[in-house]
Amino acid sequence: MSLLAATARKTRVLIVDDSAVVRDILTRELARDPEIEVVGTAPDPYVARDKIVLLKPDVITLDIEMPRMDGITFLRKLMHYFPMPVVILSSLTPKGGDLALEAMEAGAVEVMCKPGAAYTVGDLAVELCDKIKAASRVAVRRRTEGAVQAAAPTVRLAMTRTTNKVIAIGASTGGTQALQDVLTRLPGTAPGIVIVQHMPEHFTRSFAERLNQLCEIEVAEAQNGDSVTPGKALIAPGNYHMVLRRSGARYYVEVKSGPLVSRHRPSVDVLFKSVAKYAGRNAVGVIMTGMGSDGAEGMKMMRDAGALTIAQDEASCVVFGMPKVAIDLGGACHVTGLDRIPQKMLELAQMD
């Protein structure tokens, strides 16, 4: 095979969904991307199993609620016998959010909602293509079927003093686990935190509730007007932008609709640029694993405004996209591994 042919190889995708309508929509929309090839579809996990063996796709898209075998059970079997990148497509409901998080714990790389009134086919196609291409680059590890991975004991960090600084974090592909690793290590006195993680509506609420059960700090899906206070992390709601505002000494968030920015809503750039404007040197910025460039420009603005900034290093990223662009733009003061980010955040927050 020539070098040109090798570099032009398309990402091969298998679509697994019990709805013929959804299968047709996804096949048509994904086929528009010249870097993606839909090699087949399957209405249930049993058909999917045979097609995976036959077609050897690079990525599969997987519905959760299906007949004969549910998607999460199939995913666990897949991760044990034939591990490969999986993008979950779930219904846009609170229950769907809970199941999607369970799927990510079982080994899924990304979650998205199905096309519907709150998530147009056009928006879905753009983001799904990005997520599929990002997923194809992820090295998926074999998991023991049915086993729940034991979490490492959480070592809580401490602060010598509390501060009123603001920590802003942005993440995408691989970010749900990365955020859990970071937030579970923070003390209850940590500075107020504002977060954009690329996730659909309802999924962010389930994610915040799950983190709130695991963390010493309080974690919640942001609501318009929420104050940014020590010991609390606010996660931007899926399908809404979140910006930082200031009234006197009080920081608070505004949650609003608007067009996609850097191909996302919520957008890390939207958050970071508002933090640069209203917090400046009183902020710490962190950009973590994710495909694309969302947040890179905003982090550069934060650094230019006097904020101290951190980018996750390549070795610990699931996808070294967003951090790499931020580093290349000169937006990162520090580049460090995921395991060092919590301590580094706290150290920078205590600097005058």
Q: Averaged over 229-240, what is the pLDDT?
A: 96
Q: What is the dihedral of CA 15, 21, 22, 25, to 10 degrees?
A: 90
In the residue annotation, 198 being an active-site residue is answered as yes
Residue with tokens 């650094």: 303
Residue 302, classed as helix, strand or coil, is helix
Candidates 90, 172, 293, 316; catalytic one: 172
Q: Is the separation of the CB atoms in 181 and 338 below 8 Å?
A: yes
pLDDT digit string, tens, across residues 14-44: 999 998 988 998 999 999 999 999 999 999 9
What domains are defined for the chain? 9-135 (3.40.50.2300), 166-349 (3.40.50.180)
Per-residue confidence (pLDDT) for residue 38, from 0 to 100: 97
d(CA 87, CA 33): 17
CA–CA dist 89, 110 (Å, integer): 9
| Residue 172 appears among annotated catalytic residues | yes
Is 294 considered catalytic here? Answer: yes
Q: pTM of the predicted model, to two decimals?
A: 0.86
Selected catalytic residue, list 198, 202, 241, 264: 198
pLDDT of residue 283: 97
Which residue in the list 33, 181, 269, 294 is annotated as catalytic?
A: 294
Q: Please list, in sequence order, all residues whose beta carbon lies within 8 angstroms of the beta carbon of residue 186, skipping any fewer than 6 positions away.
A: 156, 157, 215, 216, 217, 342, 345, 346
What are the pLDDT digits (tens) for 120-159?
Answer: 566 678 788 988 998 998 888 776 554 444 445 566 665 5
